[in-house]
Amino acid sequence: MHLWQKLLTAIFCGRADRPNPALMLVLCLCLRQATCSYAAVYFVASTGSDTNPGTIERPFATVSRAQQAASAGDTVYLRGGLYFLDNSHITATNPPWAVVNHINKSGVSYVAYPGERPVFDFSRVQPVGWRVTAFLVTANDCVFKGFDVVGVQVTIQTNHTQSECFRVAGGNRNRFEQLAMHDGMGIGWYLTAGASNLVLNCDAYNNRGLDSGSMGNTDGFGAHPCSTNHTGNILRGCRAWFNSDDGFDLINAWAQVTVDNCWAFYNGYFTNFSSTGGDGNGFKVGGYGVSGGLVPIPPPRHRTQFCVAARNRANGFYANHHTGGLDWFNNTAYANRYNFNLLCNLDAQSSSNDVPGFGHVMKNNLGFMARTAEVTNIGPSNDVSFNYFTLDVTVASNDFASLDETLLVLPRQPDGALPYIAFMRLLGSSDLVDAGMDMAQAYAGAAPDLGAFEYGLQPQPALAIGQLTTNIVLVCSGGWAGGPVKLQAAEWFTPNSVQWESTGTNVFDVTGTCTFRLSVPAGQMQQFFRLALP
């Protein structure tokens, strides 16, 4: 007899007017456990078939077939390899879009199989007269992690058309992580409706339109929630470069969006640095055009913080005719035409109503080497204390560990985090260290530093003996890629820094490693070594 049968017998054998409450509780728990369902796992592979059962031995061929089989709580593992899609894989049309993967079932995770990297190539998806969406997400609570989307096409040669790698049109609480959207004509990630979506550690690069119209629509990331209820969308740890329009674009957003710890560089350029004709901003934050459209009242205060904008063709950080103030905290701009352009508009009805920026709150921002001007279009009614352009500080090349822009494209760390690089990181000797204002964010020292990178919060590099004979080889690891480091020595260990002598300097390579080779003097009994970051 099963346990639940014994419990039923025990209860029903008792007095009907006085059942045993303890037994009833146990019965409820057991019945609840008996009806529990367990999450399933399915597999998709480039060598699979949609007539397979979706096991690891006999995987599906398409994401759409896996979604059909899955239920909320299930995981779909995407095996590594190259997936070629064509027009036969279009599963839905939503004029003017043709959709390949319409994700409309909530609670399913689509993740790369551990240790493998799937690549979905959409270059053969070319429906005549339709925009293309590789992944349309209208479901909630889904996860997309660890794969590439490449080659998304634009097929309509008219002004202002576009395609997208990912389009969120009503999905909430979805997570997009460690994705790369590149080498196509589509926007990397694009939201029109939905709340509390997180885009984490994703890259969008080398995306450019088909003609002049679509060139000006192809951003790396676009967040444009159409309702004041669509709050909580966050882009964090993302990079956008060589996109034909902007790196990050929040135009026509009716709800607040946060852009945190993201990098935008080389946008508005082809890879040979000729102009694409697109806008070419790093971070275009807000605005509603100037042609008389509707605007939310009050306008949302988008938050852009700890971000880097480098050598974009137009502005690094741009308010884009926004009809109110925005929040800009601890951002770093380098070699953009204008590093910070705070242009506002009174009502979005006409360009004649453009005015210098008003209502902005700017703290701890840093810029250097703007090609035309550091800051433009900023009016008197802003809170701009504690920025490099309002403080008594001098910004010069010797403030930084490195100005090598090529470090920005280094591979990400194993956990998907941005590469640990020396570009625009302050040296300890800089007067920009401890020059900022406490904004309830972690910092080291007496006060926050200016810019996106806080000196002193980084983990210290490690020093180990790689070889010991008559010569000693010391291996340093865990440093800023491209950053300088000093080796210091003393005969006795001491906390007194003046008793340590410098024995050499070096630069960490792209892996954050460097070596020091030293001769051991005859008769030297002992010597202590330590690393010092400048």
Cα gap 459→462, rounded to integer Å: 9
Cα gap 79→118, rounded to integer Å: 6
Structural contact between residues 93 and 129, judged by C-beta atoms closer than 8 angstroms? no
Pairing label, strands 92-94, 131-137? unpaired
- What residues are paired with 355 via a beta bridge? 344
Cα gap 270→265, rounded to integer Å: 12
Q: Which ranges of 265-420 does DSSP label H, i.e. alpha helix?
A: none
Q: Torsion over CA of 399, 404, 479 and 531, rounded to 10 degrees?
A: -50
Pairing label, strands 92-94, 118-124? unpaired
Cα gap 308→265, rounded to integer Å: 8
Cα gap 307→467, rounded to integer Å: 40
Active site positions, annotated: 284
Amino acid at 137: V
Candidates 285, 289, 302, 380; CA nearest to 341 is: 285
Pairing label, strands 81-86, 257-260? unpaired
Structural contact between residues 362 and 377, judged by C-beta atoms closer than 8 angstroms? no
Q: Torsion over CA of 411, 413, 416 and 420, rounded to 10 degrees?
A: -90
* Number of residues that make up the chain: 534
What one-character DSSP code corresponds to residue 223? Answer: E
Task: Give the number of other CB atoms < 10 A from CB of residue 319.
Answer: 30
Residues 6+ apart with CB under 8 A from 35: none
